[in-house]
Amino acid sequence: MLIGKAPILGICLGHQVAAQALGAGTFKLPCGHRGGNHPVQDVTTGHITITAQNHGYAVDDKGLDLSAYVSHVNLNDQTVEGIAMKSEPLLTIQYHSEACPGPLDNTEIFDRFITTVAGWKRGAS
């Protein structure tokens, strides 16, 4: 398992794989999330981002390890759009931050990950 050995940023399928590694399940959506303009809220900050998505499955947070938490939620259907860990450098998002509707809409997740990596490197030295 890579969790705890290096910082991890899981995007789309990486989000689902990390969630399963942490005990969560996945389920098939009745109608997949496709295209742009999906509002996603960062649970911690309350910030809402308009996202681009392309997936037919979502994470079911039942069974999610207690060391992890839901970090982002889809405001259209309340599905899990991100998870993070309390004590390990792991962040995940279901949406495609690299394909944001605007040129700078989703840079925050990359900024957060870069800060996480920098902190981890200082601690690992």
Residues 18 and 124 sit within 8 Å (Cβ to Cβ): no
| Alpha carbons 4 and 65: distance in angstroms, whole number | 14
Contact between 79 and 58 under an 8 Å Cβ cutoff? The reply is yes
Using a 10 angstrom Cβ sphere, with 0-12 exposed, 13-18 middle and 19 or more buried, the burial of residue 80 is buried
pTM of the model: 0.88
| Of residues 3 and 20, more confidently modeled | 20
pLDDT of amino acid 67: 95
- What tens digit of pLDDT does each residue of 75-104 get? 999 999 999 999 999 999 999 877 666 656
What's residue 123's pLDDT? 74
Residue positions annotated with a catalytic role? 12, 96, 98
